[in-house]
Chain A
């Protein structure tokens, strides 16, 4: 009679894949500076000075990158940089926010650089804020941080759960672009957590000691703990604002299958961004992280290809509210047939 539409069975395991990607990106961010340090040893013909584990790491990365470089002296240069701007197996990629704020700061268009942001922009147009949920190295720490907040709540400490205005981050993005224009420097880079994190890890590993960004990042973690869960991403992050805008008409969206929903509201509880999947409230902030799909006990959430959200579909058909209403509406018919 109902429950005909089942989501593809792999969608509920996407969340694990997402954690794997986040962890990979983050560990690369730590490993690449180390590899750079080893590289200088190797370049100085001091390969033997590396510890055996370091040699193993170096050899593995060398084997992975060797097909992508022509000169053996440039081994390992095929994977460099961070998510702000980097080189991924010879493919130069940059953050769309980096491109935008650099255009604002310099007031000129440098095409080779803008082209490096093209692939991320296309992906954002298709998948919305996927960068925030799947790649952002700061997200990795912020999600761990919100898990830490759960621990804190369990031992009786209260963590912040204030509701601010989500539109504030668009203002932060605008202010960043205007300030970049006025000061003539890419000022957004100083407060955009993935850029800050990538750079600070590199400073700490290869150059010794953190810069000012580490303090800023610690402050954002505290903000998340004390003001709102994932508060920085939801209310302040200029990059999140840009991706939300780009992803407004994204094609791939998580949607609710009303026939399977039983109104349990687990999706609302799990959503890191405080969205409202239960009432079809995904909006442009959804980062397709698929955590709600993984937690749904009745397979009522799935990916759909459509340029806008489905309007509120009413209470879930397996829930009590819907069934009460049905019973109230159906008795006359039942009597008539009986």
Chain B
């Protein structure tokens, strides 16, 4: 009999504890997980490299977006899953200008102030089978002329005026992606380890 009342109480307590997670469950249900394309979901400059650490540090206040002059910082919303309300940048729509205001504004360590040369949002990668100058379909150079880091990050191939080549000092701000005139965007921001030239499967 005593064991029974103990069990009942235990079940009651478990029920209440489970009920207290209901609001969180409701919040989580409203934001299902969707696989985000990493090329269109870059973290803002100065973000912690480890994405789990970033999620733990970011409180979702939106300050980085609110100070961003080009308004390039977006937020994971209904599709965010556990990343909901954390910031990202889609360079295909609007790219970062490396003004560093978000890093100053961030109250937590999610975005830490980083010198411009040490920012690591990724690296630009060029698909040489689509880029206009690389397939001899005309002259362009848009990516080279927009780059805020200039010759250190992207330049032209030796002896050729217009075939762009990404160098290792590229920080992955994505301005080249924003201005690229080719509809398939042969330049994109990828993980640094994936290199600056798109691999080709033959």
Chain A residues engaging chain B, CB cutoff 8 angstroms: 32-33, 36-37, 39-40, 43, 74, 77, 80-82, 84-87, 92, 94, 98, 101-102, 105-107, 110, 112-113, 116, 168, 171-172, 174-176, 179, 183-187, 189-191, 195, 198-199, 202-203, 206-207, 209, 211-213, 215-216, 219, 236
Contacts and interface: CB of A to CB of B under 8 A. Distances in A.
B125 interface: no
Q: Which 6 pairs, one residue from A and one from B, show the smallest C-beta to C-beta distance?
A: A211-B77, A190-B27, A85-B61, A212-B30, A106-B56, A171-B20
Nearest to B30: A212
Contacts of A179: 21, 24
Contacts of B70: 40
Contact of A203 (B27, B77, B107): B77
Interface string B61-74: 11101110111001
B53 interface: yes
Interface residues of B, number: 43
B57 A106 contact: yes
A184 B86 CA distance: 13
B16 A212 contact: no
Contacts of A82: 61-62
A198 B52 CA distance: 24
A80 B27 contact: no
25 contacts: A32-B66, A39-B69, A43-B69, A81-B61, A82-B61, A85-B107, A94-B59, A94-B107, A102-B56, A106-B53, A168-B20, A179-B21, A186-B59, A190-B85, A191-B24, A195-B60, A199-B60, A202-B62, A202-B66, A209-B77, A211-B84, A212-B80, A215-B30, A216-B30, A236-B23
Interface in B15-61: 16-17, 19-21, 23-24, 26-28, 30-31, 52-53, 55-61
Nearest to A172: B20
A258 to B, nearest CB: 37
A212 B21 contact: no
A211 B69 CA distance: 22
Given A113-B108, A212-B78, A40 B71 contact: yes
A28 to B, nearest CB: 12
Given A190-B24, A191-B24, A199-B61, A185 B56 contact: yes
* Residue with the highest number of chain A CB atoms closer than 10 Å, among B17, B23, B63: B23
Nearest to A236: B23
B59 A191 contact: no
A212 B71 CA distance: 21
A68 to B, nearest CB: 14
Nearest to B32: A212
B55 A184 contact: yes
B134 interface: no
B26 A207 contact: no
Interface in B88-117: 101, 105, 107-109
B82 interface: yes
B172 to A, nearest CB: 22
A178 to B, nearest CB: 9
Contact of B83 (A37, A94, A185, A215): A185
B75 interface: yes
